[in-house]
């Protein structure tokens, strides 16, 4: 994925140099690439060509990187540390960071829209449509809006879940779906199983993120630890307590595995990813 992303991003010495450098700064050399791995795992399960999955996976990683750049800006979460280094607006400036996010989002759609990516152009359009919904106001951006509006409020578990299904879950879900849609033939039963898996694992990812935010240190996380509690944001830990939050992560992990039960060892990578997501320490 590193070399795929490296090839997709404009070279740093091409004008406008500062913007291209900053885009590279935001995307390269960091990040667990969970969404890319997820796309590759579902793509492999569905028999897609790896080079085609690369493009879908890169598109999702570019949207993800844009969201982190914007999320760290002073007008949003105002965070100075991301992926173990100064966040993009700290390394460059606010205006550059804003443009980095904008340009990364455009680039994601540009690569996914490239002519001839899919033999069936209807399928390619479906991929673009799915990514647009997942990242827009009915997906990630909408979840972020709910997140910003929830500071200092007492959300219940259902409201918190609604927020995270959009803010974090939508992009994880679309990563899994685009990997599967990269295959020439898409079996609807398999897509259904993948979608259920991705919904469980997307929520588990956020529950674990809240647990790590409460328990891990900034050096391990590569971002500011304890930020949510500090910002008076509701989290799974503040609502459920740490033990119940850990139990919930475990339940979601089990649900994810159940969704894959019909696929046996063919779904091994998805099983491994579910384990990584729920047992990660960073």
Q: Does residue 238 interact with ligand GRG by CB under 6 A?
A: no
Q: Which residue has its beta carbon closest to ligand GRG?
A: 31
CB of 114 to ligand GRG, least distance (A): 24
Can you tell me which of 42, 168, 199, 235 binds ligand GRG, judged by CB under 6 A? 168
Stretch that binds ligand GRG, among 26-34, 46-54, 120-128, 152-160 (CB under 6 A): 26-34
Can you tell me which of 4, 127, 209, 271 binds ligand GRG, judged by CB under 6 A? 209
Which C-beta is closer to ligand GRG: that of 55 or that of 171?
171
Q: Does residue 54 interact with ligand GRG by CB under 6 A?
A: no
Can you tell me which of 42, 144, 200, 271 binds ligand GRG, judged by CB under 6 A? 144
Show contacts with ligand GRG in window 74-93 (CB under 6 A): 76, 83
- DSSP string across the chain: -HHHHHHHSPPTTSSSHHHHHHHHHHHSS----HHHHHHHHHHHHHT--HHHHHHHHHHHHHHHHHHHHHHTSTTTT--SEETTEE-HHHHS-HHHHHHHHHHHHHHHHHHHT-TTSSSSHHHHHHHHHHHHHHHSTTTHHHHHHHHHHTTT----HHHHHHHHIIIIIHHHHHHHHHHHHTSSS--HHHHHHHHHHHHHHHHHHHHHHHHHHHHS-HHHHTS-TTHHHHTT---HHHHH-HHHHHHHHHHHHHHHHHHTGGGGGGGHHHHHHHHHHHH---
Q: Does residue 161 interact with ligand GRG by CB under 6 A?
A: no
Can you tell me which of 21, 42, 67, 278 binds ligand GRG, judged by CB under 6 A? 67
Which C-beta is closer to ligand GRG: that of 177 or that of 203?
203
Stretch that binds ligand GRG, among 42-50, 70-78, 179-187, 241-249 (CB under 6 A): 70-78
Contact residues toward ligand GRG (CB under 6 A) are 30-32, 34, 64, 67-68, 70-71, 76, 83, 140-141, 144, 167-168, 206, 209
């Amino acid at each position: 994925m590193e070399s795929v992303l490296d090839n997709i991003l404009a070279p740093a010495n091409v004008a406008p140099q500062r913007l291209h450098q900053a885009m590279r700064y935001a995307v390269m050399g960091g990040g667990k690439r969970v969404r890319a791995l997820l796309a590759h795992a579902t793509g492999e399960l569905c028999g897609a060509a790896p080079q085609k999955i690369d493009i879908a996976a890169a598109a999702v990683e570019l949207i993800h990187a844009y969201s982190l750049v914007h999320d760290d800006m002073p007008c949003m979460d105002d965070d100075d540390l991301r992926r173990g280094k100064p966040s993009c607006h700290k390394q460059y400036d606010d205006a550059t960071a804003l443009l980095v996010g904008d340009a990364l989002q455009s680039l994601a759609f540009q690569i996914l829209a490239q002519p001839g990516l899919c033999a069936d152009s209807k399928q390619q359009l479906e991929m673009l449509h799915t990514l647009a919904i997942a990242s827009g106001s009915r997906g990630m951006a909408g979840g972020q809006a709910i997140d910003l509006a929830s500071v200092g409020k007492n959300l219940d578990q259902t409201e918190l879940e609604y927020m995270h299904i959009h803010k974090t879950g939508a992009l994880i879900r679309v990563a899994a779906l685009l990997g599967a849609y990269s295959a020439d033939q898409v079996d609807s039963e398999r897509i259904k199983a993948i979608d259920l898996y991705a919904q469980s694992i997307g929520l588990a990812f956020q529950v674990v993120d809240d647990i790590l935010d409460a328990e891990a240190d900034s050096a391990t996380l590569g971002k500011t630890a304890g930020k949510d509690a500090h910002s008076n944001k509701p989290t799974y830990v503040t609502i459920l307590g740490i033990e119940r939050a850990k139990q919930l992560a475990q339940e979601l992990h089990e649900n994810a595995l159940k969704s894959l039960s019909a696929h046996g060892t063919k779904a091994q990578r998805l099983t491994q990813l579910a384990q990584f997501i729920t047992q990660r320490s960073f």
